[in-house]
Structure 1
């Protein structure tokens, strides 16, 4: 192991982590990140959208580094660095003697999905960290034959479940491996496996309890996505899924993952390679599930991120010396693309319009917008600012002065333990010009317009409305402010 984790790899990982921490400082906070920052200021056993791990990460990070981009994202680069080391160790445990560990970690780190997840915090960030760590625990179990590793796996899988519900697919893949691989079936009768499962369930118990107290709303929302259908063409959704993954993984690494997984399938079926079987069972069923989902509805680009840790192990282990230069090229290309995206998001050197620049649409101009809204609020004499969109409301709560209350509208806020504004207060509702229909707030009166822009390029236009708390509005919640 010491030979595979030589200093150049460690130095490269440390340098990459330092760059990611710098990007965490420089990049504007996205609406979803601001929303998870609100979660961290209103901790609960679970939430409408996801389990609570991302809230715990943002709460811990901001406790250490303040209500800043670095604080919100702090645990992401650090966690991904640890996950990279554990993925390399898992690869060496499964395929000793191939020196494939650093390659697996390098390939995964060169994907946009993993690189962006190392900077921009979402539920996928802790999910991928604990997913890699759980793979390491299973690999150590396979290498050592020590059943106590099932207890470690159960803990790490439970923490993955506390991050995102798709972690269930990891448990399914491992159980499938135990059932399908003759050399591993003995574990089905051992107490350590079931004790590990009990630990995972215990970790997940707060989410179950929270859902039982809230009409199972989170399970219904996320579970309802599986197998859902829409009016779009299945070929269109399949094309979006495959093309999107090729872009997010970068084309060469996407190809490596497909070829490596295919070679792992062959090694398992023809050579009865049990380690290859683990990669197949963790990767292929989940990939087929996403492909099936795409026959009826859109699969979001981040959902298949869980496929890449095991697929990168397969690529590193089964693509031999003849692929070395191609792997080097894929890693270099992924690094260049990642740096280009981060530079564009942080400094916008290329003045692209919104339709051609997703970094402008999601990240651009939030502090300046908050300053414009605060100026309009003072001019109107309003006591608070309100917003219908959860991301917009969260951005305003993060960027407005701490003395300016931000009121969020919508049913989701009923699930938070947050105060409501007092009756009789007047406010200024900010609403995206892209939203159709009248404001959700009754008797809202037009009060002007503001624009969110970056370097003079418009990202979004917002309408302002004067409002008053009367008691007949949709659910209202006063969001936490910066400390």
Structure 2
């Protein structure tokens, strides 16, 4: 008998009804708010990528674009239709967090509190509101953590098979899942129980993960690993800022009011003799933080494990919250957390009142103004002489602009846009026979794009109409007479990743 593992394998009954009600309530809320603003720039890109199916893209594996394509085909090419999978993923995340609390011995109260904690978390609400790689990455991480806990508690190596499948699918969405695997293995090696790292089931789990991830890994390998170039650019551009903001953004993204809960979770995992088998989960979080800081990654990369620690802290919180005033304290804290998280992450305010939330969470503003951007481009296109339009091109500096024009442009008679940003570059260039005028839309203040075109004059500017200071506000729409070289020769210089 391994002394690090409990003698009995029984767990408290799962609080399926109240946890299900909480998950369903969040799903209904997200669904009701899904159309309040509009598509996010990344969502427009995912839809465009989904229209160009491949086993990989320069900046991501294929899962999220596939999900985007399936969602719009099944539920409609609208923000509401696209976001159905994100809504379901958020609800599933809440349920899995409750299962983590149960796995750690939490009873009905702890499970419900864990589900509520996830439901009021700003990060869960943010990624549940819109389709992003982080949406499905969060679900994959908490699912892998739950499976890991079952493996550690029972010592049954067959759980490696499920973990391998989860890791493999997670890799098809975002490579960050590799950081979780490294952090968990290092933690288990450090504090045990190490016997789970031996045997044929571990090998089988690794094989499953590799087989599932192989098509995308092969695509990356045959294309020169462009995702490493993108990751290196993120670290070079934002690494210092990410490191400085790592701790405060960890607190802000999850919710400041949940800090005592996940701290209690760390203490419980480390000190409770009955959870000695789960001690590695407390160690995995600081190991993960070191990995993220060393790589200059974004602060939210480590947040999924904080949800696991929060689930661990719910049982001691339930024991503490005995007495009327303590219950009232927990309730008030939960309501405040829910309200602040909703304002910062969800479209609950009028679009012209986003100045404060947008300063904290700029993703709010990136859902505003795409139809007006397309209208500004259409006005620029109307300045192209009709006789020259068959040879004319619309060129967008970034994938958000290109995605917006691709989505809304056909209704305004616009042709398919081109862009050198991220994987958009792989879907070009325009044919060299398109040697007529070029309508260019670029972010405000960017003068670099002009050196590729001739005879340029500004014919308009993008105005969101809501006073939202996002990346496209004030962007110039420029009409150029042509390019400095044929498109095929120019295209390598127009490709960019940042």
* TM-score interval (norm. to shorter): 0.7 to 0.9
TM-fit CA distance, 1:388: 1.2
**Residue 461 of structure 1 pairs with residue 438 of structure 2:** no
Please name the residue that 2:351 is paired with: 348
> Which residue among 295, 298, 310 is the counterpart of 2:308?
310
Instruction: Give how far 1:28 is off.
Output: 1.2
Establish whether residue 473 from structure 1 lines up as the match of residue 490 from structure 2.
Answer: yes
Counterparts of residues 72-221 of structure 1 (less than 5 Å): 72-97=82-107, 99-182=109-192, 184-221=193-230
- Aligned alpha-carbon RMSD (Å): 3.1
Partner in structure 1 of residue 287 of structure 2: 285
Q: State the shift of 1:44 in Å.
A: 1.4
- Once the two structures are superposed, residues 154-177 of structure 1 have per-residue CA deviations (whole angstroms, 9 ceiling, x without a partner) of 101111122211101221233234
Structure 1 residue 246 displacement after superposition: 2.0
2:58 counterpart SS class: coil
Cα gap change, 1:93 to 1:359, in 2 (>3 Å): closer
Counterparts of 1:133 and 1:458, CA distance in 2: 37
In structure 1, what is the Cα distance between the partners aligned to 2:425 and 2:55?
11
Correspondence for 2:255: 250
Q: 1:144 to 1:74 in 2, by over 3 A?
A: same
Check conservation: 2:285, 2:302, Cα contact below 8 A.
no
Is the 8 Å Cα contact of residues 30 and 128 (structure 2) preserved in structure 1? Answer: yes
Q: CA deviation at 1:224?
A: 6.9
Residues 19, 111 of structure 2: 8 Å contact kept: no
Contact kept, 8 Å, 2:380 with 2:479, in 1: the verdict is: no
Within a 5 Å distance, the mapping from 1:408-419 to structure 2 comes to 408-410=418-420, 412-413=422-423, 416-417=426-427
* Equivalent pair of 1:27/1:345 in contact (CA under 8 Å): no
Q: Is residue 24 of structure 1 aligned with residue 42 of structure 2?
A: no
CA drift of 1:127 comes to 0.6
2:454 to 443, 456, 472: 443
Aligned-residue offset at 1:256: 2.5
What are structure 2's unaligned runs of at least 5 residues?
1-10
- Superposition pairs for residues 379-398 of structure 1, below 5 Å? 379-381=383-385, 382=389, 383-398=392-407
1:385-416, Cα deviation, whole Å (9 max, x unpaired): 22112222222222222552233332634763
Give TM-score, length-normalised by structure 1: 0.85
2:44 is aligned, of 34, 37, 51, to: 34
Q: Does 1:370 align with 2:398?
A: no
Post-superposition offset of 1:354:
10
Q: Which residue of 1 aligns with 2:444?
A: 433
Alignment partner of 2:245: what SS?
Answer: helix
* Distance in 1 (alpha carbons) for counterparts of 2:490 and 2:219: 26
Structure 1 residue ranges (4+ consecutive) displaced by more than 6 angstroms after TM superposition: none
Q: Is the 8 A contact 1:41 1:59 kept in 2?
A: yes
* Aligned equivalents of 1:218, 1:401: Cα separation in 2: 31
Counterpart CA distance in 1 for 2:157 and 2:428 is 45
**Farther-moved stretch of structure 1 (318-327 vs 328-337):** 318-327
The answer for unaligned runs of 5 or more in structure 1 is: 478-483
Instruction: Tell whether 2:83 aligns with 1:66.
Output: no
> Does the Cα contact within 8 Å between 2:90 and 2:128 map onto a contact in 1?
yes
| More displaced 10-residue stretch of structure 1: 409-418 or 392-401 | 409-418
| Equivalent runs, 1:42-57 vs 2, <5 Å | 42-57=52-67
Is 2:34–2:129's contact at 8 Å kept on the other side of the alignment? yes
CA distance in 2, matches of 1:152, 1:413: 32
